[in-house]
Amino acid sequence: MDLNLKRPLLFFDIESTGLNIVSDGIVELSFVKVFPDGHHEVKTWRVCPWDYSAGRQRPMDPGASAVNGIKDEDVAGEKKFIQIVDEVVDWLRDSDLAGFNSAKFDLPMLAEEIERVRAYCKSRIADPRVSQDNKRKATAMLEKIDIDLHSKLMVDVQTIYHYLEPRNLKAAYRFYCAGGELENAHTAEADTMATYEVLKGQLEMYKEPDKYHEVALKNDVEFLANVAGRPKTIDYAGRLVMNKNNEPTINFGKHKGRTVREIYETEPAYFAWIENGEFTMDTKRQFALLKEKYESENFSEAVSRLQDKFSNGKLF
């Protein structure tokens, strides 16, 4: 079954140095972009994982290397993510997203790499030692990578699969793709293509409800992105969620369950703790955006009160 698309759907998969979003990096990234007319395009990058603060390559975790077969020396000569990020963002810009377990790992990792480039460019612009020409280059880079991944629909094929037939990608491929065996598992391109084929198989298998499955899948990206009622998270790490009143709420630690606005009003130093803590850059950015929003609202309220006070031309 072909996908019913109103805009391109970008399937993607990442191989990384490890599973820690904060300290690990991408070593392989593959995109399969499916267009509304049914054709698809494929792009795969090998990436040298780079620590911009330390100015060195991030090392492969032995456990990750054992799974994806990629060693430090295999990617040492490849481009750093900052050298491909504008092309990556171009692929992402007009598309909704899809992947296998991508909502929990691949998308946060991809967002983190983009945020690292963003932070590096801002540091270059702020550094008085950097030449004006390089500051202009950093400014141009920030404009090229200006993208809000949170605004995109995300179809996680694993969420659909586990919701209806809980297993893994290899079993899913066998189950939904006529008993075929997934070749070259744990290479980014093979896994990405397999994910695309599995989603089409799911749509074919569950197009009508039956006695075992009350839910029928709609061939619609917005429906697929919300299968199983995924929680409304604000950041990819799930540190911030929307509560039942649609208010940004802290989802961890001693303040779990309290709204971010409440913490802003009673414990503003908490935001500095987040900024300096071991959180993903995306989490830090979402906290900073909320703080900026509340500061702006407070300023607007203060201005309004002053205008009301002096509107009659009298001080008292």
In the chain, the amino acid numbered 39 is H
Which pLDDT belongs to residue 227? 83
Q: Exposed e or buried b for every residue in 160-174, given b needs 16+ CB within 10 A? A: bbbbbbeeebeebbe
Query: CA-to-CA distance for 114 and 142, rounded, in angstroms?
Result: 10
Which is it for strands 56-57 and 96-99: parallel, antiparallel or unpaired? unpaired
Strand, coil or helix: 130? coil
Q: Is the dihedral of CA 284, 104, 223, 34 positive or negative?
A: positive
Does domain 9-225 correspond to CATH entry 3.30.360.10?
no
Contact in structure between 228 and 159 (CB atoms under 8 Å): yes
Query: CA-to-CA distance for 209 and 65, rounded, in angstroms?
Result: 42
Query: CA-to-CA distance for 225 and 240, rounded, in angstroms?
Result: 19
* DSSP 8-state assignment for residue 48: B
The number of beta carbons lying within 10 Å of the beta carbon of residue 292 is 10
Hunting for tokens 């929680």 — which residue is that?
A: 231
Which pLDDT belongs to residue 315? 42
Contact in structure between 92 and 7 (CB atoms under 8 Å): no
- Domain boundaries in the chain? 9-225, 240-310
Helices (H) and strands (E) in the chain, counts: 12, 9
Which pLDDT belongs to residue 36? 97
Which pLDDT belongs to residue 313? 53
Contact in structure between 222 and 197 (CB atoms under 8 Å): no
* Helix, strand, coil content of the chain in percent (nearest 5): 50, 15, 40
pLDDT per position in the chain (316 positions), as tens? 899 999 999 999 999 999 999 999 999 999 999 999 999 999 999 999 999 999 999 999 998 999 999 999 999 999 999 999 999 999 999 999 999 999 999 999 999 999 999 999 999 999 999 999 999 999 999 999 999 999 999 999 999 988 887 678 888 888 889 777 777 777 899 999 999 999 999 999 999 988 878 889 999 999 998 887 666 889 999 999 998 899 999 999 999 999 999 999 999 999 999 999 999 999 999 999 999 999 999 877 776 776 666 665 554 4
